[in-house]
Amino acid sequence: MNPALLLAFALLPFSSGSAQEVTQTSGQRPPLAADTGAAKAAPELARLDQVLTLAQESKDQGRLTPERYQEFLAQFRVSLDNARAAAPPSPAAEALYARILARLGDSQQAMVALAPARQRDPQDPDLRVALGHVRFEEKDYPAAYAEAEAVLKLDPANKAALALKYFSQGRIAGTAAATTRLPPPGLEEVSVLDDPRVAEAGRRALAHQTALGLTDEAMRRLKIKDPREALRYLSMAGAIDPELPNVPMQQGLAYADLKQHAAAVERFTQAESMWRARETPRTDQLAGLAQTMREREAANLLQAQASAQSPASQPKKPATPLPYDAVGLVLIAVGVGTFLVLEKRRDEAAIREAVEVYGPAGLVVAGGALVAMTMLPPARVAGPSLRAATVLARETELIQATAAGIGAGTILMASKQDGKASNSADPTSSNSPSGTQGGTSQGEPDRDRLLKKAQDPELRDAIDKLYRKNAKIGSGSTMDGYRYESQTGTRLSKSGHGQKLVERRDQLMRVLHKPDLSPGDRQITKDILIDIQNALSGL
Amino acid sequence: MTNFKLIPDRSREIILGALRQNAPEFFNTDEYLRLAKLDPKLAEYPGLVCGAFTSFLCAKLEREEDVRKYFEIIEGWAATKDSYIENYLITEVFENVNLPTLGEERFKGNLRPISLQLYKHWMEYPPEDRLSSH
């Protein structure tokens, strides 16, 4: 922050007219000059003091609603604690911290903060002025005046003490000093601005400048991927200058980083309308941002709807050890029942009969037995053949045979829930609702499946370019390739596949808007666009 | 921000410029005109144009026509050592080669030295074996 601006701010109350006017203006407090020891020792705390001043003025003037002010205070306190922790310990820093606490209404806490430092050096001017500020906030103006006078006896040029003295004088009713218009000693070099409109314009300009500084800090936090801290700075900036469009724009960026898309869209839209109201609107940039977020939100909604409608495209869930699916329960029951029958009859013919009678369920039971063979110690010796399985089924205990049936049912349910259970370690597994997850349950590659269905020549061209033959990574799609690059950090081309996705996305958007596109082609196009957008979004 | 040096993206002028100069007939082909018909702006996207060019080139290869000048164009692109253009070569040319009867080896066999080196590095080695510098 420009020291000249800080000094100008410090002197504004004096320039706004007589001390009489000062007493009539509610909410004004002694400012903190830039060249005090406190401001130099803890510049961040000094800046927060200034931020608080501007925010409280905004609240007093009605430019900040009480709710927004409370929101600002919540963020401000976190920043205050951080700044205090970061400041090197010194009487000046403690004094400043106490002053801010007092201004927040925490006089008791302010006194606690001052106590250790005052014990060590009770005459330190910064600490005495801070104590004076605490008394001022407690409306004990004579005590505040007394502290200021004590400091000025030793250091007549102490600007902070001077400010405190005159503000306190102004509040003490019936004193002769309250009506004097003489400029305070030591400040004659500052021109007196009598017009309150000029002072107000100066305060607004300073508020704007301070808010811009805070948005710069927020942008730095966004660049280092700390959106929460960025939001704290932006909350302060918005409190000081509610009309600054940078604030909602950067809030939109922060919410986008936090994947809160609805909030991001709201902020971008707000920034867009604020910019439109200005003389030099940047509507194209912000309209583009808002549109991008709307598209992203719409794509997410479409995906959620498609996922809800298409059970086969549910996102991967971990395999559950307990059978909840009805089909699995039936198969397990069949498995148990079959083996109960076999337990009684114990011959190979019974196995074959079970397969003939139960059909696929019987095959599942047999498959379960094969699985059991690979898991149970005796089975490993028997060898993977149906005959061996029947021998095993005949010779195993009932509980092991039942386990085979349960195993078959569980495996069926796990593969139903997982989709690609065998690909669970594949970082490129995509969650496209079109079922582009490395092929259908029949194992057909996505490229072939989509090319069979798509009719439109431009769509077919896009599919041809987006899905490679002989897939090596994931489904062979550019989207899975991009996911691989993002997740592993290994590029599959010189600069990665992001640019290809962006260009193909534009191509497909044009395809989507073709009036003669069939419903089937439209759905395929949407599904691929969702997959592209998900990949670009890191999903 | 002052620490960043912006590298201008000249891929559009180089890719389209080379095609206009050395293969103007490409701009009358179905592959290119399909793009332009969808949206004239798409026909200026370097990646999409490269993809259309690859389809055009593969069709010519399948018909056993003379394709030497087209591979010279690809060699010229690779020789620029421009990272944007190399990326388009990999993602929109090499990855889009589709020769159902002749196979990709026919395409690779026509590549000139610089583009062949680029092809081998990005298309033939598994990602984990690829050297980070190219």
A213 contact partners, CB below 8 Å, separation of at least 6: A1, A47
B45:A503 CB<8 A: yes
Q: Which residues of B fall within a CB distance of 8 Å from A447?
A: none
Of the residues B37, B81, B91, B118, the best mutation for testing chain A's interface (the one with the most A CB atoms within 10 Å of its CB) is B91
Tell me the average pLDDT across A520-528: 93
pLDDT: is A527 or B132 the higher one? A527
Phi, psi of A374 (to 5 degrees): -80, -15
Q: Which residues of A fall within a CB distance of 8 Å from B87?
A: 493-496, 499
pLDDT at B58 over 90: yes
ipTM of the complex as predicted: 0.90
CB of A466 within 8 A of CB of A504?
yes
Q: Compute the distance between CA of residue A165 and CA of residue A163 in angstroms, rounded to an integer.
A: 5
pLDDT in tens, A482-501: 988 888 888 888 888 999 99
Tell me the average pLDDT across A524-533: 92
Tell me the average pLDDT across A356-380: 49
Phi, psi of A262 (to 5 degrees): -60, -45
pLDDT: is A12 or A296 the higher one? A296
The CA-atom distances, in angstroms, between A231 and each of A209, A225, A368 are: 18, 12, 56
pLDDT in tens, A88-132: 888 888 888 888 998 898 888 898 888 888 888 888 888 898 899
B34:A464 CB<8 A: no
A507:B95 CB<8 A: no
pLDDT in tens, A411-457: 555 444 444 434 433 444 444 434 444 444 456 778 888 999 999 99
CB of B128 within 8 A of CB of B88?
no
pLDDT at A82: 87
* Residue B127 at interface with chain A, using a CB cutoff of 8 Å: yes
A385 contact partners, CB below 8 Å, separation of at least 6: none
CB of A233 within 8 A of CB of A215?
yes
Give Cα B61 distance to the centre of its chain. Answer: 15
A494:B83 CB<8 A: yes
A495:B83 CB<8 A: yes
A499:B91 CB<8 A: yes
* Residue A510 at interface with chain B, using a CB cutoff of 8 Å: yes
